[in-house]
Structure 1
């Protein structure tokens, strides 16, 4: 398994994984991801914020990171954090605990970038996903109603989000 930045040659596969993730969301009766703008993904790649796990020369999983997320995290955004967004796993690699691999990677990444927290959110109250993220080491901080979603993708509009956090203070 290799964790590395995505590149422009990965864009079609990234969008394929997003479509597959949305198809999976439909089967779970949860809030669906919108179709993301290509320019968003290109910018994340250019800024080295789009990541992938490669297993046997195949992209198994993708995600994006940010160092700021004020519209979701509000006042807590002032604390030094890495925000993980849009984890999408190829169906062939589901069940291999790849989020736990991302968490291990994120702990090192956060430390290298002098961040105290690893944070994630998911739209709605998806109990199985909440329990899975807790199993991966996140504290579930509860549900919050977003106030200003103008600059967020459509699935955040008029939504409550589940917030997750790992506090790295006092850990190695």
Structure 2
């Protein structure tokens, strides 16, 4: 298993995994991801914020990171945190606890980037996903109604989000 930055050659596969994730979301009757703009992914790749797990030279999982997320985290955005977004897993590799691998990677990544928190969100109150993220080491912070969603992907508009956090001070 190798964790590395995604590159421009991965864009087709990234969008394929987003479509697969959206199809999976449809089966769970939860909020669906919109179709993301290619420019967003290109920017994340250029800024080295789009990541992938490779298993046997195949993309098993992708995600993006950010160091700021004020519209979702409000005043807490002032905390030094890394924010994980849009985890999508290749169905061939489901059930291999790849989010736990991302969490272990994120702990080192956060420390290397002088961050004290690892944070994530998911739209809505998806109880099975909340339970899974708790098993991966996150604390469930709660459900928050978003106020200012201008510029956020459309699935955040008029939405409540579940917030998750790992406080690295608590893991020492």
Q: TM-score under structure 1 normalisation?
A: 0.99
Gaps in structure 2 of 5+ consecutive residues: none
1:3-42, Cα deviation, whole Å (9 max, x unpaired):
0000000000000000000000000000000000000000
Quote the offset at 1:151 in angstroms. 1.2
- What is the number of residues matched between the two proteins? 172
1:126-145 deviation digits (Å, cap 9, x = unpaired): 00000000000000011000
Structure 1 unaligned blocks of 5 or more = none
Q: Which residue in 1 is equivalent to 2:28?
A: 28
Tell me which residue corresponds to 2:57.
57
2:102 corresponds to: 102
The 2-side partners of 1:155 and 1:58 are apart by 29
- What is the CA distance between 1:169 and its match in structure 2? 1.0
Aligned CA RMSD, in angstroms, stands at 0.6
TM-score, with length taken from structure 2: 0.99
Q: How far did 1:171 drift?
A: 3.4
**1:82 and 2:77 aligned:** no
Structure 1: distance between partners of 2:110 and 2:65: 10
